[in-house]
Amino acid sequence: MDKQITIPNELYEDEAICFIADRHHVSPQKLLQYFLLSEGLSVDGKEEIQMCRLEDNEIEILRGLLSINH
């Protein structure tokens, strides 16, 4: 079963997350939901997630901000 994670609200306002989300034309919430799903984690809420192709450096930035180690 997937580990579930709750995203702290302040991360939705993080400058790097907002920049990456804007680059992919999605909200910070959608970006983080997609990222966590791609990492094998589930997120709060069951709304439809817009898929986007993240660059390797964007994935590493998001992993660092969310303290996910791979």
- How large is the average pLDDT for residues 27-54? 79
How many domains are there within the chain? Answer: 1
Place of tokens 């997350």: 17
Query: How high is the mean pLDDT of the chain?
Result: 83
- How large is the average pLDDT for residues 24-30? 92
Per-residue model confidence (pLDDT) at position 43 = 65
**What is the domain range of residue 42?**
3-66
User: What is the C-alpha to C-alpha distance for residues 46 and 66, in angstroms, rounded to an integer?
Assistant: 20
Per-residue model confidence (pLDDT) at position 57 = 95
- How large is the average pLDDT for residues 8-36? 92
User: What is the C-alpha to C-alpha distance for residues 30 and 69, in angstroms, rounded to an integer?
Assistant: 21
Per-residue model confidence (pLDDT) at position 70 = 54
User: What is the C-alpha to C-alpha distance for residues 49 and 60, in angstroms, rounded to an integer?
Assistant: 20
DSSP 8-state symbol, 13? G
Q: Can you list the alpha helix ranges (DSSP code H) found in 1-70?
A: 15-23, 28-38, 56-66
For residue 18, is pLDDT > 90? yes
